Amino acid sequence: MNNFIETVKYFLLITAELTVLFIGISALVALLLMYLPQEKIKDWMSSKGIFGNFIGALFGALTPFCACSTIPMTLGFLEMGIPFGAVMSFVIASPLLNPIILAMLLALMGLKTAVTYFIVVFAAAIIFGIILEKTGGEKLVKRVRIKGGNLEVDEIPQAFKDKLKKALLKAWGDFYGILGYLLIGVGIGAVIYGYLPQDLVLRYAGPENPFAIPIAAIIGIPLYIRAETAIPIGLSLMQKGMNVGAVIALIIGGAGMAIPEMSMLAGIFKTKLVAAIVFVIFLTAVIGGYLFNLI
């Protein structure tokens, strides 16, 4: 009975905390994007060299897009003539880095974890974007065309109160869309917190197992868990003794390789390039996991 009560308390507390975080951060980001000079973003991403990759990764980090938004924008960027490497940096950063993920990491796992996660993934998005361009990845883009790709999907209101209302409505819509995933994640995390034996976690995913990180990354890739689902689960596993590197590898592997996103990417990229992106996410998960444990 004590375990059940603790499990319910954990579920209610984390759900309430993440609800406030998600709606507040989503509204703030939506409001910020209304003021960003979006044509400038396109111009900056078109810059040659590492600066274009930097802007691509930064724009991916700022925009909490789902796969249905990321893919049309990816193709739209390519059709505009934006360098392939900058677009790849956007594709890698978009599912792994956004203000919601960072706010959840900050609230649940602390400032050091959130900052380290951002640095590792942001650097990986830039580096691998450059590598994919230098190795001829652009030749693996299929010649397809779909509608979309514009940064401005809806008309932006003029008055601040109208902008704020629109931002809050968008935040609520986004929250409603991921609510099921969030409740599943918190529910699984609560059960782990209340009932999973600590000795079992330590045996297979504790600090003493050197293979815990690559195994977690491999499990995460086919598992497909959104970051909003993965982070509460990771927090519970970490409290049971799972090393933080393995938790981060699980989050990156699961959140970075969304099955809907990969299937949509296969519609515009050839198999070799999709496989390369999967490998990039796996490497990011493993390298990031080991770096977390060192730090």
What pLDDT, in 10s, does the model give residues 234-280?
777 777 777 888 888 888 887 776 665 677 677 778 889 888 988 88
Mean pLDDT of all residues in the chain?
77
Q: Which residue has the tokens 């409740």?
A: 183
Rounded to whole angstroms, the Cα distance separating 142 from 251 reads 30
Amino acid of residue 248: I
Q: Are 292 and 248 in contact (CB under 8 A)?
A: yes
Q: Are 222 and 190 in contact (CB under 8 A)?
A: no
| pLDDT of 128 | 93
| pLDDT of 69 | 59
| Model pTM above 0.75 | no
Residues of the chain with pLDDT under 50: 145-153
Rounded to whole angstroms, the Cα distance separating 130 from 83 reads 10
> 176: exposed, middle or buried (C-beta count within 10 Å: 0-12, 13-18, 19+)?
exposed
Rounded to whole angstroms, the Cα distance separating 66 from 260 reads 9
What pLDDT, in 10s, does the model give residues 19-56?
887 788 778 867 876 776 666 777 788 877 898 899 88
